[in-house]
Structure 1
Amino acid sequence: MPLLNKVTATAPGNKRGNPAAASLSRLRTALTVFFALDGFLFAGWVVRIPAIKEQTGASASDLGLALLGVSGGAVITMVLTGRLCRRFGSHPVTVACGVLLSLSIALPAQTHSTLALGLVLLVFGAAYGGINVAMNSAAVDLVAAMRRPVMPSFHAAFSFGGMTGAGLGGLVAAEVSATTHLLALTGIGLVVTAAAGPTLLRHRAPVPERTEAAARSGPLSGKTRKIVALFGVIALCTAYGEGALAEWGTLHLQQDLHAHPGIAAAGYSLFALAMAAGRLSGTTLLERLGQTRTLVAGGSLASAGMLLGALAPTTWLALSGFAVTGLGLANIFPVAVARAGALAGPSGVAAASTLGYGGMLVGPPAIGFLADWFSLPVALTTVALLAAAAALLGYSARNASSAPPA
């Protein structure tokens, strides 16, 4: 250690002659690459869902059941990832999950039945869940060591990766088969992992002083557990919307509003771009508005945007709603996860991430069932309801402070 002590002994901006600061900078770059890769690969999958749905002959409810494979694999892995990170370190787990995610993304295009699709999505979900918990754990430690509130920047990279992946998917959707496209993504993922992975493998995660103090102090108090759970539920409410738009937004535009496949794929790209823009301004918003106002304003804006996106009668109005929703949701998840990490260290990150990404992964199957019972536009209004709930919970958490925010 003590890496943190070395960093804080010198001015944060003085990287020359300060190997520890330079090491943190390299770690930040490598982690940013993995966040971007995660968003890129996930978006590459979601824009191909209409083609996979047609290939397997699945109904909306059948597709919802198949998507439970992503949810099941991710939730199981998220429960285990905290232990894996404690035993092997968050950096090696991130790299291993990056390889698995890259390999598994090619599998859905090889299926021709709902059952087979659900089974391969278990593997994809396991990789997706694992890399997200591992990356966020590593990022919270790095944010604490840098003593700068840069967590939104990592999630901005995820959004930019998603925007790029969706944009590429939109460009090739009408010309390239899903099989070829997803196989190409496997190659890209493996190359990027090989390029960025060694940096993480060469450097251990920095150990923040408060995490060491928490480890010495024993189990978390009941109050801290409740606060962490509260931020986990806030993350769940907003991640539900992100998952729903990722996996059903394209289909809504194409099926209900009869948008061209390229325009429909651009819907998620626009949503991801708006999220990225919001996250790039996240640090400034937190400094000027504070945590509570940022959460309340974001949830309220996302709720209004999703009502427009779900119920608008034209493609362009729906796209506008998607963009507003992205701006609103942008900083809620990273703030909630960082806050949980500041309160409880890696255990808090694991708990909040599991709840949060559980919402992202359970949301799409729930939308599928609701779409069969009612309609897809009506089902998507549940995103607005949960965003409003996140705003209310964010307000209720205004006095929840047993540790300073990350």
Structure 2
Amino acid sequence: MYLPRNRSFAARLWAVFFVNGAVLSSWAPRIPEVKDLLDLSDSELGVALFGVAAGSVPALLLTARILDHARSGPVCVVTALVFSASLPLIGVVDGLWQLTGVLMLLGAASGVLDIAMNTAGIAYQQHTGHRVLSRLHGGYSLGVLAGALGGVAATHVGATTTEHFVAVAVLLVALTVVGAPMLWSRPRSPAEREAGGTQVLARKRRLRLPLTIAVVAVSGLFIEGLVTDWSALLITRDLGAPASLGAAALALFSVAMFISRSAGDAVLDRFAERTVLTTVAVVVVCLVVLGSVVAQPLVMAVTIGLVGLVLGPVFPVAISRASRSAPGRAAAMTARVSAVGYIAYLGGPPVIGFVADVVGLPITFAAAVALGCLGIALARRDPG
């Protein structure tokens, strides 16, 4: 085992996670502009945005079969290149269905890349015996932040969507190419060889994702999606803060998630996963209840940042547990836990909107976070 080379591989894989986070977050700040340029109604924009989920969820489930026959490193390289290079297509669409088709392509690429990079991370952990998944997901969080800030900057300087997306694509393709030789040439890990050798047996016996793992994944990403989609509105509309504070709270949350995930492996090496999940559940619910009771914009903004600072390791723990529950089928189990988590991430916040119309956003927000924390606490035991 050559640790310097292993660390270099981990750094290249971290860059792939960064690319995955940066692509769609670069598009998010330009959504209003594209909506106006294409003269889309709110419902038409909703149809287009659903294209991301329509492309990603099937891809998440199909990628496990691809990885039965292919190494995860080359799949990461090819998909990251396609994902990055497809972003400028948004700038040249001229209607609803073209935009929906491009977003489906981006969603499918994101889904394939999500499973391939997590499978590569799991294989690295199994090969070296060192935790790395949380740190890798920190790269994803930093990519999300970089893409969003880049979008804000491009809008500020008056760059067109095409100019902005071409610049982003060039940078992300270059970043992928730098790490491509090592990712491409790394031999198949023992875990990946075992997965390929047991694919027929695995298909005969249906793989099941343990309920406790699914609950941890759903709960963690549900809270993350809730904060991402609703906290700015809560701070600005319901607590009467300026829009700048709502935007600052989201930026603070992204930075905190990056820090939390980057430090998550060290925390999990020192403390048991069960202890970490219990602590996350208790701290997050206490923070949000306190912020809701005080009901001051600045206090809630700080609360959002502190939630991000402790929430980061939850989803990486779910992926690690899924891989341990079926060691020979890490890709398939990663696909399942990612699919259920992603559905919760996308589907949870809209449900919150319907409930908030009835009882108000502040109560709904606090109750939903408490529900997610309850799920984390109850499912903290490792079934593997």
Q: Same fold (TM over 0.5)?
A: yes
Cα drift, residue 207 of structure 1: 1.8
Counterpart residue number, 1:4: none
In 2, are the aligned partners of 1:151 and 1:334 still within 8 Å (CA)?
yes
Question: Bigger CA drift: 68-77 or 250-259?
Answer: 250-259
User: TM-score w.r.t. structure 2 length?
Assistant: 0.82
Cα drift, residue 242 of structure 1: 2.7
Q: Distance in 2 between matches of 1:369 and 1:115?
A: 27
Q: Distance in 1 between matches of 2:224 and 2:208?
A: 25
Q: Deviations over 1:20-65 (max 9, x none)?
A: 4443222211101111222222332333344445555666665444
From 266, 271, 283, the equivalent of 1:301 is 283
From 326, 331, 337, the equivalent of 1:344 is 326
Does 2:126 align with 1:141?
Answer: no
Q: Deviations over 1:166-223 (max 9, x none)?
A: 3333444433346033332222221112222222112134224995799499549999
Q: Deviations over 1:266-293 (max 9, x none)?
A: 4433212111221233233324431112
CA change 1:287–1:230 in 2 (3 A) is same
Cα drift, residue 258 of structure 1: 6.4
CA change 1:377–1:142 in 2 (3 A) is same
From 279, 283, 294, the equivalent of 2:265 is 283
Counterpart residue number, 1:13: none
Following superposition of structure 1 onto structure 2, how do residues 176-215 of structure 1 map, counting pairs within 5 Å? 176-177=158-159, 179=161, 180-208=163-191, 211=194, 215=198
Q: Distance in 1 between matches of 2:236 and 2:92?
A: 23
Following superposition of structure 1 onto structure 2, how do residues 2-401 of structure 1 map, counting pairs within 5 Å? 7=1, 20-53=2-35, 55=37, 63-110=45-92, 116-177=98-159, 179=161, 180-208=163-191, 211=194, 215=198, 218-219=201-202, 225-227=208-210, 229-246=211-228, 259-260=242-243, 264-305=246-287, 315-345=297-327, 346=330, 347-363=332-348, 365-366=350-351, 380=365, 383-395=368-380, 397-398=381-382, 400-401=383-384
Q: Which amino acid aligns with 1:388?
A: C
CA change 1:75–1:215 in 2 (3 A) is same
Counterpart residue number, 1:3: none
Q: Deviations over 1:119-174 (max 9, x none)?
A: 33212211111111110011000011010122211111112222333333344443
SS at match of 1:204: coil
Q: Distance in 2 between matches of 1:252 and 1:50?
A: 20
Unaligned 5+ residue runs, structure 1? Answer: 1-6, 8-19, 402-406
Question: Bigger CA drift: 353-362 or 379-388?
Answer: 379-388
Q: Which amino acid aligns with 1:343?
A: S
Q: Which amino acid aligns with 1:289?
A: F
In 1, are the aligned partners of 2:59 and 2:108 still within 8 Å (CA)?
yes
In 2, are the aligned partners of 1:74 and 1:127 still within 8 Å (CA)?
yes
CA change 1:342–1:389 in 2 (3 A) is same
Q: Which amino acid aligns with 2:127?
A: A
Q: Distance in 2 between matches of 1:293 and 1:60?
A: 44
Unaligned 5+ residue runs, structure 2? Answer: none
Question: Bigger CA drift: 244-253 or 135-144?
Answer: 244-253
CA change 1:84–1:265 in 2 (3 A) is farther
User: TM-score w.r.t. structure 1 length?
Assistant: 0.78
Question: Bigger CA drift: 46-55 or 187-196?
Answer: 46-55
Q: Distance in 2 between matches of 1:321 and 1:112?
A: 42
Q: Deviations over 1:71-114 (max 9, x none)?
A: 11110100111111222221121112212221333344555765
SS at match of 2:107: helix
In 2, are the aligned partners of 1:234 and 1:333 still within 8 Å (CA)?
yes
CA change 1:361–1:311 in 2 (3 A) is farther
Q: Distance in 2 between matches of 1:175 and 1:233?
A: 43
Q: Distance in 1 between matches of 2:234 and 2:45?
A: 14
- What fraction of aligned residue pairs are identical, expressed as a percent? 27
In 2, are the aligned partners of 1:38 and 1:161 still within 8 Å (CA)?
yes
Q: Distance in 2 between matches of 1:363 and 1:184?
A: 33
